[in-house]
Structure 1
Amino acid sequence: MGTTDVLRSSIRVSHSQMGERLGAARAMGAPPEQPRAGHERIDVFLATTSKHLHAVDAVLVPQARKEVPDGAALVHDYLRSTKDLEVVLAHVKAHEYGSVYETSFRWSEVWSEVDVALTDHHRHEEVLGDRLSVTLDDTDLEDLTRRLWNAELVAPSRPHPYTPHTGMLGLVARKVMHTADRFWDAVEGRMVPEPRPEPKKRPGRVAQYFLADPRFDEEEPPART
């Protein structure tokens, strides 16, 4: 059983970042001298969220299925929630670029669907992170968090709700879609943000000593001398 909060913290940071970028995307307004600014904010939100979803599919989902009791049921519920969100994100992209099938919808309706789907997905991902955190030891959790960050670097930047998400087919699909997305992002001039900094490993006791920065376990206060 792990004692580090590194995976939970990473998930919380990702969710906070997605929420901030959703708020910016919903603003929609753009000054006359920057007519593309509204589109750029939507692109950033879509890319950030899509990359995180694909990374979770690649790293957390197989680990939960293998290590967590009742992991299969947990993963099934998570993947259903992910697909619902990806469908909505694809809806946003189509609405942004003026698909003829989107003319009967208003932006307020689209963003309302995003709110519902994103909240549901965050809830399922937090459960996934919690269950992994109480199942794995600290070393495995730190490695898992690092792998999650690395996976975002090479993840597709667009939602792909109808491609395989798990297993070997999912791995191949992500590699193909990553290449295809990079090509179309360049062609369409879409804004794809740089990934957030890699989570730092908690310093060990020796490092804490030399840094003069002791960090005590709240449940086990230091012994009195």
Structure 2
Amino acid sequence: MSTEERTATRTLMEDSQRNLTVVENGESRRYELLLAGTTVGTLDFRVLGPRRVLGHTEITAEHRGRGLGTALIKAILDDLIAEEVRITNYCPAVERFLDGHPEYLVVLDPSHPSIQRGSKPLQHLIHIQHSRLRELAAGSEDSSIDGFDRRRIADQFTAIAAQHAAAVADVLLTAARTSSGEDAAAMLANLKEFEQSLRVLKGRAYGDARFLDLSTAETWREAERLLAEHESHEKKIVSGLEALHGADGAADLARALAKRQWSSPTRPHPNSPHAGVAGRIARHLWRIADSTWDELEGRGLPTEPVENANRHSAVSHYLFGTPDDQ
């Protein structure tokens, strides 16, 4: 599927008898259920390479209990199976649908498992995130990759790590502050250090003069050290939250963490507010600013994979006079 098709609105299902339509809104990254032309349901998604990550299903209050959520999910999964696209699912409604319709289980990506009921969802989600970051860090040590691929790995690592750190500050620190203030304070201090290391790592990859005296290997080692320290803090807080809130509460926190990460800044901002309303406002504003700078720099982020991507942004083509097909 081309980049243009991903960002366009595409119809997945039309039911004239019930006056229902399901569309994929690529620009908003959500599926929409329309009743007589009015949106009454949505399901958020994210594109990660060849797979989709399904987030949260929402049906408007006045239209619940009529099977509309099932119609939305069925249309989505039918389309994904037809397109041979696999999913990682974080949506309880989709999980319930799969429980009742095992023939749709083929859509699940076994190499990227979903959060399952009965597991420890917060720990599972954190394990997935940190495993991905460790995988990227290990890739940076491959001596056979060229400078462009090395920068792409640094971009992906810093973006995923920055978004995860921001989501942790927004969701986990907020939840832990009342029950475990000392642990929350320790993790906040680590988060700021970790974000600073990400800033250095990205700056070194892009040739920032402030960091040229540091070796690439040195910047990676420091980022990995602080990441391991962060994971330790995170696991401690998560264990406490799971014990405090129980399985259902922990599942809610896991969904909130996953959803918040999708809308978090893609760059580290260690000197910005992290806690409370000020932190949330700062993250919202930085997300807008980061998206603009990412486009200008042509960053190779994992959130919007592009088939046959150019190695330069439109701005760099203009500045360096290179043709668009390079």
Higher alpha-carbon deviation: 115-124 or 143-152: 115-124
Runs of 4+ with deviation above 6 angstroms = none
The DSSP-based 3-state class of the residue aligned with 2:177 is: helix
Assess if the C-alpha contact under 8 Å between 1:11 and 1:129 holds in 2: no
Where structure 2 has 5 or more consecutive residues not aligned to the other structure, the ranges are: 1-117, 305-326
Correspondence for 2:303: 194
Where structure 1 has 5 or more consecutive residues not aligned to the other structure, the ranges are: 196-225
Correspondence for 1:139: 248
Which whole-Å CA distance do the structure 2 matches of 1:122 and 1:191 have between them? Answer: 25
Shift of 1:27: 2.9
Higher helix residue share: 1
Would you say how many aligned residue pairs link Structure 1 and Structure 2?
Answer: 187
Structure 1 residues 51-70: aligned runs within 5 Å: 51-66=163-178, 68=179
The DSSP-based 3-state class of the residue aligned with 1:137 is: helix
Which whole-Å CA distance do the structure 2 matches of 1:156 and 1:28 have between them? Answer: 30
CA-to-partner distance for each residue in 1:78-133, whole Å, 9 max, x for gaps? Answer: 00111111111111111111121222211122122112211111111111111111
Q: Determine which of 254, 262, 282 is the counterpart of 1:153.
A: 262
Correspondence for 1:27: 142
Assess if the C-alpha contact under 8 Å between 1:29 and 1:38 holds in 2: no
Percent of residue pairs identical:
28
> Under a length normalisation based on structure 1, what TM-score does the superposition of the two structures give?
0.79
Is 1:37 matched up with 2:149?
A: yes
Which whole-Å CA distance do the structure 2 matches of 1:172 and 1:126 have between them? Answer: 26
CA gap of 1:171–1:28, structure 2 versus 1, over 3 A, is: farther
Shift of 1:30: 3.0
CA-to-partner distance for each residue in 1:131-150, whole Å, 9 max, x for gaps? Answer: 11111122111111101010
Which whole-Å CA distance do the structure 2 matches of 1:117 and 1:139 have between them? Answer: 31
> Under a length normalisation based on structure 2, what TM-score does the superposition of the two structures give?
0.55
Assess if the C-alpha contact under 8 Å between 2:167 and 2:257 holds in 1: yes
Q: Determine which of 133, 144, 154 is the counterpart of 1:18.
A: 133
Assess if the C-alpha contact under 8 Å between 2:205 and 2:216 holds in 1: no
CA gap of 1:84–1:28, structure 2 versus 1, over 3 A, is: farther
Correspondence for 2:183: 74
Which whole-Å CA distance do the structure 1 matches of 2:144 and 2:280 have between them? Answer: 38
Correspondence for 1:105: 214
Which whole-Å CA distance do the structure 2 matches of 1:10 and 1:172 have between them? Answer: 25
Correspondence for 1:207: none
Which whole-Å CA distance do the structure 2 matches of 1:157 and 1:187 have between them? Answer: 14
Higher-RCO chain (CA-CA 8 Å, sequence separation at least 6): 1
Correspondence for 2:287: 178
Which whole-Å CA distance do the structure 2 matches of 1:60 and 1:156 have between them? Answer: 17
Assess if the C-alpha contact under 8 Å between 2:192 and 2:270 holds in 1: yes
CA-to-partner distance for each residue in 1:5-37, whole Å, 9 max, x for gaps? Answer: 111111111111111111123436535xxx522
Give the letter for the 2:133 counterpart. Answer: M
Q: Determine which of 81, 84, 93 is the counterpart of 2:202.
A: 93
Assess if the C-alpha contact under 8 Å between 2:122 and 2:253 holds in 1: yes
Assess if the C-alpha contact under 8 Å between 2:183 and 2:237 holds in 1: yes
Which whole-Å CA distance do the structure 1 matches of 2:143 and 2:258 have between them? Answer: 29
Shift of 1:4: 4.3
Q: What is the RMSD of the two structures over their aligned residues, measured on CA atoms? A: 1.6
The DSSP-based 3-state class of the residue aligned with 1:43 is: helix
Which whole-Å CA distance do the structure 1 matches of 2:247 and 2:298 have between them? Answer: 41
Correspondence for 1:49: 161
